[in-house]
Amino acid sequence: MNRILIACIVIISIGLSQQAHAQVSTRLNNNWEFLKQDLGGIWEAVRPVGKGNPESVPLWENVTLPHCVNATDAVDPDVNYYQGPAWYRTQLEIKNPYANGRILLHFEGAGQKTDVYVYTTKVGTHTGGYDEFTVDITEAVNAFTQTDVFQKQFKGKVPISIRTDNSRDLEMIPSDLSDFNLYGGVYRYLNLVYTPALSIDKLFALAETDNAGRLGRLTIKSRFYNPQRVSNTSVAVKLFDPAGKLVHQLTKEMLTGSADVNIAELSVKKPMLWSTESPKLYTVEVTLKRPEGIFTQREKIGFRRFEFVENGPFKLNGKRLLLRGTHRHEDHAGVAAAMTEDQMRTEMIMMKDMGVNFIRLGHYQQSRTILELCDSLGIVVWEEIPWCRGGLGGDVYKEQARRMLRNMIEQHYNHASVIIWGLGNENDWPGDFPEFDKEKIRTFMKELNDLSHQLDPTRKTAIRRCDFCKDIVDVYSPSIWAGWYRGIYTEYKSVSEEEFKKVKHFLHVEWGGDSHAGRHSESPDKALQNLKASGAADERAGDASLYGGAARASKDGDWSESYICNLIDWHLKEQENMPWLTGTAQWPFKDFSTPVRPDNPVPYMNQKGVVERDFTRKEAYYVFQSYWTAKPMVHIYGHSWPIRWGNDGEEKMIKVYSNCEEAELFVNGKSYGVKKRNSQDFPAAGLRWNVKLEKGLNSINVIARKGKDFVRDNLSFQYQTESWGKPAKLTLQKVKEENGIATVEARLLDEKGIPCLDVANWVRFGLAGDGKLIDNQGTSSGSRLVQMYNGRATIRIQTNNGTNIVSAQSTGLKTVTTTL
């Protein structure tokens, strides 16, 4: 399936999903005001304001939704991110087309506690930053429209105020010890929904097949939204196949009842099966017809069956499928959690293009858009609740976990992509409470496991890294960080085999390591000399720290892209020869922000992604492509490595990542021969050449062949033979300018003016003038404080067509400036 076709399918799917929960639904994206602090009370949000009067403060700013309170401060290198109350307000023109209908505000997610007001009346509250919730504002709106202030002050509009709060709270999940920000704000889409008196709250469509996949069964249940206690309705059910052809329809009269109601049970002969290669989706359409109005809900479903073979591999539709996975946090440069549909679509298509067929959504329920994209693209899903780190709290804490598990399962029940409901992550991590009782954690884990199976007997349960609970859930992942937090990467396979033997269903999620984008090494495995094979599954407290403890790559390595490419390359070659393996998921696809890593090369960033926080691909992306994709590709390592170094006449390795059968390398116009790809020939599957480079500019070209197809890649770099001493001088110059954006580069030189190509000093950029630093992006070229990569660092400036003076500082060296 080509990329354009996939994009079209995704767009169609999302277009249908926007109609999924109501006949009339409007996204409330525009005309919002925002305040990053608390108010004295709701009256301060709605009282009459005279220009210049005291009531005009505090000052609000105009924003659009989705909006994250921590869009920039999450990665500000100089402050802790804001955790506290914030307010949003707008005025809505209410025009419900249904007589005696309902007016709803449908939140796709807001963090972490939310209060909703109509004028001064609180109409709803919700705790939990990741599950959807709906607030019925009908009565409050009707009451407010009868007041004088409705016309006199608000000119016929209804004031809506929303208070979000991500303050630290030990009785909430996830824990603030978690390795990700607990964001605040209305950071997913908010919808104004009109429904008739009777509508559907939840539609549960269970699609199953027999063992041969020749007969499909579809069971449809409904939970009505019926505050006015309508007693009966006419129901029409339609089922459309993936091509849009009507394959079933029925109409019936039924009582609404107060519990979930069976609507239909249908059989489908020879159903088109949903798979990762061919994600066929049927459409269920249920229509309620009453004199007060018609309500239609549509859901996408897929017929498929899956199996975790006991002590064996994973099967989808009866065939072994090696789960080739990654992870996702809802986080992006410049917006944090407030990603748009376009950004989500770009991210998921990038994953699919990398060869991903499995994703673990860490560590919370994610946007409905992501699940729809997984359905449409063919990506199998493990989704989990945010019981993450910290131990176990009290009754309020546990009730939130139960509620969020129920909401996640019910809200994402119909997605064909979902196979696992995750119950927790690193629940063996103490710290939030004086008591850490393993038996109490086990008891609660058993309760959640039973609840998950009660709500959805068709999916598996799972947790990661809590060995004393591994016997409770269906699928377990230990912590194996071979070559990063523990041991060396060459012991990955043996350690995995040992862990595999301890549980019935083993699935390895979270592996990889950090890499500072743009940093490369001529000897990336040098740090391995000091590391010991030490049982990489036995991750210890403090292993993630940059301080103290035993030697480990995470603390003592160079954080280069070169090292991580070798680590990933080794893991992928081994996975091809592990026939018992269900699959793995590299951690994570994209760099993301975290409050617990202030000392990383990009402060407050977890840099284990294969793409940066702004979608810039790192070199590791292409290593995955070379193992996981079928479309011919080729990539020479080092596109972000402008200067290599070594001695005159020294041979240097040129690595090429490709899924092609063979490749021929050219250096400065000279062929260095054709090499055959062999996945077990580490590194680079045998596509590597030792070459004597010329001092100065070198041009590299490669031509790779797969059948009758040829693909090419090329790059150029300087080769430096002069050795350097201690950094003595900092330089700063503009290297690029286009569309009003200038890029400046700081470089470190020794006292002779020779570039210091292996140093990692910190540099701080500053700006005076008419423009603006493009910083707080959480990227290697988008932070005003950053570790250098090979003795250099860059940042961009929005010049605003004015005069700007950029500065660069590095401890112990003279500050330098340049004028733009």
Kindly list the catalytic residues.
426
> For residues 712 and 324, what is the distance between their CA atoms, to the nearest angstrom?
26
Cβ contacts of residue 222 below 8 Å, gap of 6+?
A: 200, 202, 203, 204, 235, 260, 261, 263, 286
Alpha carbon dihedral 379, 382, 388, 391, in 10-degree steps, equals -170
Q: Point out which residues pair with 403 in neighbouring strands.
A: none
Q: Name the nearest CA neighbour of 651 among 682, 689, 700, 686.
A: 689
> For residues 301 and 812, what is the distance between their CA atoms, to the nearest angstrom?
62
* Angle between helical axes of 620-628 and 341-354 (0-180°, round to 10): 60
* Angle between helical axes of 368-377 and 341-354 (0-180°, round to 10): 40
- The label of the residue with tokens 């017929």 reads 303
DSSP designation for 752: T
> For residues 81 and 79, what is the distance between their CA atoms, to the nearest angstrom?
6
Contact 627, 678 (CB under 8 A): no
Q: Is 347 helix (H, G, I), strand (E, B) or coil?
A: helix
> For residues 776 and 603, what is the distance between their CA atoms, to the nearest angstrom?
10
**Which pair of tokens denotes residue 591?**
């760099």
Q: Name the nearest CA neighbour of 329 among 374, 372, 358, 367.
A: 367
Cis before 363 (ω within 30):
yes
Helix, strand, coil percent content, the chain, rounded in steps of 5: 20, 35, 45
Q: Is 345 helix (H, G, I), strand (E, B) or coil?
A: helix
Q: What angle do CA 272, 275, 277 make, to 5 degrees?
A: 110
Reading phi first (left if > 0) and then psi (alpha if -120 to 50, else beta), residue 581 is in beta
Contact 745, 577 (CB under 8 A): no
